[in-house]
Amino acid sequence: MEKIFPRQVHIVIALVWFVVALYMIFLYAPQEATMGEVQRIFYIHFSLACTALLAYFFVFLGSMGYLWKRSHGADDFAYACAEAGFIYCSGVLLTGPLWAKPAWGIWWTWDARLTSTFILWLLYIGYLMLRSYVDNPGRVEVLSAVVGVLGFVDAVIDYMAIRWWRTQHPQPVLAGGPGSGLDPRMWLTVFVTWGAFLCLFFYLVRQRMALGSARRALVELRRARASSI
């Protein structure tokens, strides 16, 4: 992968993509009629939220992969996705209230979507704390994989919350059925912005995985050295 698509090229593509996305958010997408320019928060809020949910799906896949095959690659992937997913989920919880205050008049409400997103953020924290504090090779991977698999239930509830219940949070714009949707220029801006955030996400995951495998190699080298002395 590194030879075909080096990480340096990857980050340059992500940055150029972001420049295009910012141009589209501020200069190409039309102004929303009722909320005005504050609605432009939607483009980053939506992209961060979709990526945070997708990240937890990857954590779930990596965790299943580890439990099934005991593959260190799958574990590194799950760990990297959890760390990047935590950053994205934190972004969702920062941009959400900043949009809610001018749009709804309140910073926060405990409705189904907001609460399940907050729980997802806590799950990310729990997963990362487990990785940091349990210092028992073999056991920490299994425990975190179990959290990764069980926590996926909340990611599903989070995704479905605005479909299952009436919430303060708006109804879905993506796959939301009749009546949902956006101006075509807004759609294009949504997809370009989400693409930029996804591109950055995969770069962060690659960077984190490289760090994880280098750390593992270092630990093994140290162990080999200690046993040879």
Partner 1 sequence: MNKFLFAAFSLVWLLFFIYVWVLSRRQSKLDQELADLKHKLRRE
Report the interface residues with partner 1, using CB under 8 A: 36-38, 40-41, 44-45, 48, 84, 87, 90-91, 94-95, 98-99, 101-102, 200, 204, 207-208, 211, 214-215, 218, 221-222, 225
Shortest distance (Å) from residue 140 CB to partner 1: 18
Nearer to partner 1 by C-beta: 3 or 225? 225
Nearer to partner 1 by C-beta: 131 or 152? 131
Shortest distance (Å) from residue 45 CB to partner 1: 7
Nearer to partner 1 by C-beta: 74 or 200? 200
Shortest distance (Å) from residue 90 CB to partner 1: 6
Nearer to partner 1 by C-beta: 56 or 88? 88
| C-alpha distance from residue 93 to each of 21, 64, 135, 140, 203 (Å) | 21, 27, 30, 28, 22
